[in-house]
Every structure is written in structure tokens, then in C-alpha cells.
Amino acid sequence: MVNSTYFIDFGKGKDGKNWAVTNDVVMGGHSDSSVEVLENSIVFKGIISLRNNGGFASLRNQGNKLKLSSYNTLQIRFKTDTRRSFSFRLSASDRFYEPFFKHDFNASTNDWTTVILNLNDFNEFNLNGKTGQKLQPHHMNEDFRIGIILYDKKDGPFEIEIEYIKFNS
């Protein structure tokens, strides 16, 4: 494998403009969120509502999809002052009912935190929940849309500020 890096640098004029929110309203829920591009980061914030079986908000890239075959890990630098646990999501399909891969990441403080996630540790999910499968080498040549999702089934506000996401070999 060639030593390579794919770097998503958030901030004005950089990679923040190709990201958009998707909330549970697409399935009848009432959660609300927004995204704001700052000088050196992107802020994803809102309110999760469990009304009408809701309970999630997500931030997804709308630009190019990414093949993972050159990478082993991803690194994310972020801070949050409300909720501490989010998930990184990889989707090869735009159809909500198709399987996707997810890995939780957490912050222990409201200071800037950097976490490294191993791509082999991403779990497969479908509409029924966790399938018991992991992201496998044969998936790595698929084109993935990447995103952040909050799906902790708790009412209330949330905010996460992200400086960068970096995929490493």
C-alpha cells in the first residue's frame, strides 16, 4: 500500500461548503440541526427530538465520494460542550435502507480532542440495527460518502465543532 493521506480541512473557502445536514424529519421525526462554516472549522448543532419516533441528526459530505482502499485509519479533531458521544458514518449507497458502516467516537472534556479510528473496527448496520459484520477489504473499493451522526436517543441540544478529518494509510 502506498503511504497516503486524504485531508478534509474545514473552514471558510476550504472543505466546509460541501457538507449538509440530514435530520430525522425525512422519516417523520422533529429533530432540527444546522451547519455553520467558521474561519478554521465547521460547527454542527441542533436539537434532538424523540417526538414521532425521531431521534437523529447527521452531517454528511455532499461532494465527491471516497474510496478507502488506500487508508487504514481516520483521525478527527473536534470539540463539544454538550454531548460527548457521536458516530462517524460511511455509506456506499444514498438509499437509507442499504447497509452502512459506523464507529462511535467520544470526548472526555470540552477541549479540543483528536481521536483515531481504525477502519477495520467500523461495524455494519442496516434498518434492523447492527449486523455483526465489520468493514471488510472487499468494501474498500466502493465509493463512500462520509458523515457524522448523533443517534443517542436523548432529547435536547447538541453541538460539535470539527477542525479536520484525515484518512491515513
Tens of pLDDT along the chain (169 residues) come to 456 899 999 977 678 888 999 999 877 889 999 999 999 999 999 999 999 988 999 999 987 789 999 999 999 999 998 788 999 999 998 887 789 999 999 988 889 999 999 999 999 999 888 999 999 999 999 999 999 999 888 999 999 999 999 999 9
Calculate the dihedral angle through the C-alpha atoms of 94, 99, 101, 102, rounding to the nearest 10 degrees: 90
DSSP-assigned letters across all residues of 105-155: EE-SSSS-EEEEEEGGGPEEEETTEEEEEE--GGGTTSEEEEEEEE-----
CATH numbers and ranges of domains, the chain: 5-168 (2.60.120.260)
pLDDT recorded at residue 75: 97
Could you identify the residue written with the cell 479533531? 77
Rounded Cα distance between 85 and 106, Å, is 4
| pTM strictly above 0.85 | yes
